[in-house]
Amino acid sequence: MEQMIEWIKQPWPWYVAGPLIGLTVPVLLIIGNKSFGISSSLRHACAACIPAKIPFFQYDWKKENWNLVFVLGVFLGGGIASLFLSNPEAIVVAESTQQDLAQLGITDFRSLLPADIFSWSNLFTLKGLFFFVIGGFLVGFGTRYAGGCTSGHAIMGISNLQWPSMVATMFFMLGGFAMTHLILPYIMQWVGF
Q: Where are the domains of the chain?
A: 1-86, 117-193
pLDDT at 124 (0 to 100): 84
Q: Taking the chain, what is the end-to-end CA distance rounded to the nearest angstrom?
A: 45
Element (H, E) at 84: helix 65-84
Average pLDDT, 10 consecutive residues per value, the chain (193 residues): 78 85 84 80 83 81 85 90 78 84 79 78 81 85 84 83 90 89 82 68
Q: Closest by alpha carbon to 149, among 133, 165, 136?
A: 165
pLDDT at 153 (0 to 100): 87
Cβ pair 155, 163 in contact under 8 A: no
> What is the rounded CA–CA span in Å between residue 19 and residue 28?
14
Cβ pair 51, 62 in contact under 8 A: no
pLDDT at 193 (0 to 100): 64
Cβ pair 155, 36 in contact under 8 A: yes
